[in-house]
C-alpha cells in the first residue's frame, strides 16, 4: 500500500475522499508546525538532515532516505494494511468483528487511551529539544533528529484518530496535545516521566532504551485493540519505534565500550580523570530511568486496566500467542506485595493485574540489552556488572510507592533512604560532571571522547558520512 505524497498531508487513509476530515486536519497542521518550530529541536530549521521518510507501509523497503530540512519533513498518516475479516481477539467481545468505528459505550475509555499515548510523543521531543547543541557526532545528531521527526509523526497518528473518530471532543483533545508541555508548571504532560529533563546524551540513550521501550509495550498492547484503526496505527508506529530502541541500546553500549577502553588504556577505574563516564555512574542512570519507567505502567492492580482488557480495547503483549482463553475471568497473575521487610509474589485476578502483566514483559525485555552491555565489559576483562534495580527501588506509583528499597531489594526507612539515595541515583554533582563532557562534535567521522564510534553507519552509508549539513 503506497502513500499519497501529492496531498498536503501525506496519507494512506484516502483522506482526499473525506473533505471534512481533511479540512479539519489541515487546520490543525499550522499549529503543529508552530509547535515544531517553537518547541521542537532548538535552532535547527536550516539544517539538512539525512532522514528516512515512510513511502509505504510494507514490511520491506518502506523507507526512503535523503537530506531534508526538518520543518519540511512530510509528516503524515500511515496505517498498517488492514487484515481481512479481523476479529476482536480478547475480552467479552472475543470473536466479534473488529470495530471500524468507535463503539459508543467505550468512547470515553478509548479517547483516554489515545490521548495518553499521543501526549507522550511530542513530550519526548520537548524533553530533548536542546540536545542537538551538544551532539557527540553527526551520526548521533542525525539519529536524534530521526527520533524527533518520528515522535512528531506519532503525534499525527493519534491526532488523526481523534479527528476521524471523536468529533468535536477529538478536535479539542488534538489542540490540547500542542498546549501541554513537558515540565510546564501550569500545563504539564500527562505522565510524570515525560516531564523530566533530558539534558545530556547519556540521558538521551537511556531514554530511548527505557522510555521508548515502555512506548513499545504500550503500542504493542494497543495494536491488539478491537478498535481496528487504533490497532493499525500502532502497528506501523512499532515499525518506526524499532529504530529508537536501536539508538538507545547501541548508544549506551558505545558509552560502556568507550569507558572500558579508557579504563584499560589508562589503567584506572577513575575514568572521570580522563574524560570518560565511569561504570558506577552509568549504573545510576540505569537505576533512575528504569525505575521511573516501571511507574509508567501504572498500579499493579487496576480496575481501569481490567476494563480496557474486558472491553477489548487494550490487550496483552502478543495477545494471540498467549495460551489461554483470552477472557481471563477466572485466571490469576502474580503481583508483588510487601510483607514485613520482604516482597512476596501473590496471586491476584489476572484481569486486575493487566498493568503488572505488561510491566513483567517490559522487565524481561529490558534485561536483554543489559546482557549485551555486560558482555562488552566482560570482553574487556573488567570485573563489573550492570544490573536492573529491584522493582521496589525509587517507585512513586503502586504497591511500592509508600516504601523505600535499595537497588538490590532491601527495605529502608525514610531517613536511611534520604541519607543514601545519592549512592544510587545521579546527584547534582554527577549531572554536573556529565554536563562538562557535553560539547558539539560536528566534524564527519569524529566522536566525543566519552563514546565509541558505531560499528556501521545509517542505511549503508559510511560512519564519516555528512549526516547533517548545517548550512
Ligand atoms: Fe513514539
Ligand atoms: Fe519512540
The CA 239 to ligand 1 mean position distance, Å, reads: 10
Q: What angle do CA 249, 213, 153 make, to 5 degrees?
A: 100
| Alpha-carbon span 96 to 90, nearest angstrom | 10
Q: Which residue has the cell 518547541?
A: 39
Q: What is the DSSP string of 338-371?
A: EETTEEEEEEEETTTTHHHHHHHHHHHHHHHHHH
Three-state DSSP at 82 gives coil
Is-above-0.75 flag for pTM? yes
Q: For the purposes of burial, counting CB atoms within 10 Å of the CB of 340, is it exposed (0-12), middle (13-18) or buried (19 or more)? A: exposed
Nearby residues for ligand 1 (ion, Cβ within 5 Å): 121, 151, 154
Would you state the pLDDT for residue 1? 57
Ligand nearest to the CA of 248: 2
Ligand nearest to the CA of 117: 1
Ligand nearest to the CA of 128: 2
| 296-352 pLDDT, tens digit each | 999 999 999 999 999 999 999 999 999 999 999 999 999 999 999 999 999 999 999
| Alpha-carbon span 417 to 247, nearest angstrom | 33
Ligand nearest to the CA of 241: 2
The CA 429 to ligand 1 mean position distance, Å, reads: 31
- Nearest by Cα to 120 from 188, 50, 203, 204: 188
Phi, psi of 150 (to 5 degrees): -75, -30
Q: For the purposes of burial, counting CB atoms within 10 Å of the CB of 186, is it exposed (0-12), middle (13-18) or buried (19 or more)? A: exposed
Strand partners, 344: 337
Under 8 Å between Cβ of 351 and 328: yes
The CA 384 to ligand 2 mean position distance, Å, reads: 30
- Nearest by Cα to 76 from 141, 145, 22, 131: 22
Q: For the purposes of burial, counting CB atoms within 10 Å of the CB of 43, is it exposed (0-12), middle (13-18) or buried (19 or more)? A: exposed
Would you state the pLDDT for residue 229? 98
Grid coordinates given for 358: 505488561
The CA 207 to ligand 2 mean position distance, Å, reads: 9
Grid coordinates given for 121: 510523543
Would you state the pLDDT for residue 180? 98
Grid coordinates given for 337: 506485595
Grid coordinates given for 153: 509523526
Ligand nearest to the CA of 119: 1
| Alpha-carbon span 271 to 448, nearest angstrom | 14
The CA 435 to ligand 2 mean position distance, Å, reads: 24
| Alpha-carbon span 423 to 75, nearest angstrom | 43
Grid coordinates given for 117: 499515548
Query: What are the structural domains of the chain?
Result: 15-469 (1.10.620.20)
The CA 23 to ligand 1 mean position distance, Å, reads: 25
The CA 274 to ligand 1 mean position distance, Å, reads: 36
| Alpha-carbon span 273 to 238, nearest angstrom | 41
Q: How many CB atoms lie within 10 A of CB 23?
A: 10
| Alpha-carbon span 457 to 451, nearest angstrom | 15
Ligand nearest to the CA of 211: 2
The CA 307 to ligand 2 mean position distance, Å, reads: 27
The CA 115 to ligand 1 mean position distance, Å, reads: 13
Ligand nearest to the CA of 245: 2
The CA 24 to ligand 1 mean position distance, Å, reads: 23
- Nearest by Cα to 157 from 241, 37, 95: 241
The CA 260 to ligand 1 mean position distance, Å, reads: 32
The CA 430 to ligand 1 mean position distance, Å, reads: 29
Would you state the pLDDT for residue 62? 80
The CA 375 to ligand 2 mean position distance, Å, reads: 26
- Alpha-helical (H) ranges within 300-427 are 303-310, 354-379, 414-420
- Residues listed for the chain: 471
Three-state DSSP at 337 gives strand
Under 8 Å between Cβ of 297 and 359: yes
Under 8 Å between Cβ of 197 and 183: yes
Ligand nearest to the CA of 152: 1
The CA 119 to ligand 1 mean position distance, Å, reads: 10
> Can you list the residues of the chain whose pLDDT is less than 50?
none
The CA 79 to ligand 2 mean position distance, Å, reads: 17
The CA 211 to ligand 2 mean position distance, Å, reads: 8
Q: For the purposes of burial, counting CB atoms within 10 Å of the CB of 212, is it exposed (0-12), middle (13-18) or buried (19 or more)? A: buried
The CA 147 to ligand 2 mean position distance, Å, reads: 6
Amino acid at each position: 500500500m503506497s502513500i499519497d505524497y501529492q496531498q498536503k498531508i501525506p496519507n494512506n487513509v484516502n483522506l482526499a475522499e473525506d473533505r471534512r476530515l481533511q479540512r479539519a486536519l489541515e487546520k490543525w497542521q499550522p499549529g503543529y508546525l508552530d509547535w515544531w518550530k517553537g518547541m521542537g529541536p532548538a535552532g535547527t530549521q536550516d539544517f539538512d538532515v539525512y532522514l528516512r521518510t515512510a513511502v509505504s507501509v510494507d514490511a520491506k523497503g518502506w523507507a526512503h532516505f535523503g537530506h531534508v530540512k526538518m520543518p519540511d519533513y512530510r509528516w503524515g498518516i500511515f496505517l498498517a494494511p488492514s487484515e481481512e475479516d479481523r476479529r476482536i481477539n480478547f475480552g467479552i467481545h472475543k470473536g466479534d468483528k473488529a470495530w471500524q468505528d468507535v463503539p459508543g459505550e467505550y468512547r470515553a475509555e478509548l479517547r483516554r487511551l489515545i490521548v495518553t499515548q499521543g501526549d507522550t510523543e511530542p513530550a519526548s521531543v520537548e524533553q530533548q529539544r536542546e540536545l542537538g547543541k551538544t551532539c557527540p557526532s553527526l551520526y548521533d545528531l542525525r539519529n536524534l533528529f530521526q527520533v524527533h521527526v518520528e515522535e512528531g509523526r506519532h503525534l499525527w497518528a493519534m491526532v488523526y484518530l481523534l479527528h476521524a473518530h471523536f468529533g468535536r471532543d477529538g478536535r479539542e483533545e488534538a489542540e490540547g496535545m500542542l498546549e501541554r508541555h513537558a515540565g510546564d508548571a501550569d500545563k504539564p504532560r500527562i505522565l510524570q516521566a515525560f516531564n523530566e529533563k533530558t539534558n545530556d546524551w547519556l540521558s538521551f540513550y537511556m531514554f530511548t532504551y527505557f522510555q521508548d521501550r515502555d512506548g513499545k509495550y504500550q503500542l504493542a498492547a494497543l495494536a491488539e485493540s478491537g478498535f481496528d484503526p487504533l490497532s493499525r496505527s500502532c502497528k506501523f508506529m512499532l515499525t518506526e519505534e524499532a529504530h529508537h530502541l536501536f539508538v538507545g541500546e547501541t548508544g549506551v553500549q558505545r558509552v560502556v565500550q568507550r569507558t572500558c577502553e579508557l579504563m584499560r588504556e589508562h589503567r584506572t577505574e577513575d575514568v572521570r580523570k580522563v574524560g570518560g563516564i565511569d561504570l558506577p555512574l552509568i549504573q545510576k542512570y540505569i537505576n533512575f530511568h528504569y525505575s521511573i519507567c516501571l511507574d509508567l505502567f501504572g498500579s499493579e492492580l487496576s480496575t481501569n486496566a481490567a476494563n480496557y482488557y474486558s472491553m477489548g480495547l487494550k490487550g496483552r503483549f502478543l495477545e494471540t500467542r498467549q495460551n489461554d482463553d483470552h477472557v481471563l475471568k477466572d485466571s490469576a497473575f502474580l503481583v508483588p506485595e510487601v510483607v514485613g521487610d520482604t516482597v512476596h509474589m501473590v496471586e491476584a485476578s489476572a484481569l486486575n493485574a493487566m498493568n503488572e502483566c505488561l510491566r513483567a514483559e517490559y522487565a524481561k525485555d529490558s534485561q536483554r540489552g543489559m546482557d549485551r552491555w555486560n558482555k562488552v565489559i566482560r570482553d574487556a576483562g573488567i570485573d563489573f556488572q550492570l544490573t536492573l534495580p529491584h522493582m521496589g527501588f525509587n517507585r512513586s506509583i503502586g504497591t511500592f510507592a509508600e516504601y523505600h528499597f535499595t537497588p538490590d531489594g532491601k527495605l529502608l526507612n525514610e531517613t536511611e533512604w534520604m541519607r543514601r539515595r545519592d549512592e544510587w541515583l545521579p546527584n547534582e554533582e554527577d549531572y554536573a560532571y556529565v554536563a562538562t563532557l557535553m560539547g558539539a562534535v560536528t566534524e564527519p567521522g569524529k566522536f566525543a571522547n566519552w563514546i565509541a564510534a558505531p560499528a556501521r553507519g545509517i542505511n549503508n552509508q559510511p560512519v564519516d558520512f555528512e549526516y547533517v549539513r548545517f548550512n
